[in-house]
Chain A
């Protein structure tokens, strides 16, 4: 049988298993059916209920505008799948091509997609995390709980972490006229994603909206009352804040533990894959039947010097789903690389923030259009003389132009003025806080001497 016949047979009655039934998983399933896959499709998800959308959970759901169960993802087509929901996968056997479920079931496949995403990073002291009034926001149950706590009229909400999620929740608090303290270890909000200059703008905006913003501080302890309800937070500078609700917004942890013994290239940044969404194994060899998409994928991007980049962006999940589905059903020569320029958006304090490119891949930033004091501007990011990203505050309609600049490696700073170029536009250092996650220790050891024998094995972390 030729390889074309094999591929046709697979498309006709192969078995595809998708682990992770959220945006990336659902879109992959729909794309597979769109592209003519008629075999069996199994969707495995640890949450019960239909796949749902997460961006509204830190926005419209918290204002009470949209109910938490109102964000079910629209179905673009029937996917005719078997749904195994409410039970997480806890292992993957590449020798026999089986997914193990936590309840002991085993699900065989010919090809599979890993789209297990990210979970919220919990508060580091378990007993404190368990206090009433302490929340993370990742699932719709989380958002529902926090919405109710906000509706109960708390005296103050404490938000730990001023990244995008934390800042959006702070914005909702102010919109609901709830007193809010935001605690951030970095010198300003959004610094980790957008750098120091934008961080300063974000800090001004938060303070102008009445947020009690405390930067450069660490929350050391969450204190509860006798009833087990959160009441007070302690900071490393000795100060305290009294509040009824604490929201832990310290980013996510990629759901890869279940793959620990799978032999795939798995780490804190997710599952490494090629630009075609095919997973790498531990040796750095690409697999042919295992694909990755969404928040859990860690994918090299040629535009950014082939660095492996993990993106927790809605659009990235959608685009990788399309690529993964196409490549699952294609012969080697017909495979597509995932080359979209990343985009994301946020809405906070009445401001639409939108970005194109990878702002962290930059050494300088310059305001190219609009006015920073008016909070309407576009800032371009550059790395060694070329444009690598742009961020807009209430000015998103120009970003398509900046996408083109990134795609064509246009010079930075952009040389020509626009009608709304600020008079004092000058590039400044982008100034990201240093990488805090580099010193993790070794992840693998290499064994064998002959080139045909050399392999790596994973090293468990002892510290």
Chain B
């Protein structure tokens, strides 16, 4: 004979037993992943030393506020243009011909070196200028600059 009943007595697992169970699980995981955990501790220690850990936790704790603040900044047209300029710059970088630019920059550098040791007091006369065209170095520079100007005008 069994009347319908609805009362349920839950199995009381003691807090200690549950804790013991959890600890066992953790122990097991630690042993399985010993190397990774030791390395992880190293990483944590360095992060702690440099103060990143504290900073990180604060940011995570206030994730939504932080994000809102950052986004508010970018909503300002002034800063929004930074973002769009940044991404445009990235695109630009992709288009630059670095090898050619390097050539030009090398030349610019040696020009700067020469200029740095020039005596400011010496005056260049009109004649000196004409004479300088004959100097092979100066002539190469002029030819290159003229070619550059031509290209730029296209």
Q: A and B: real partners?
A: no
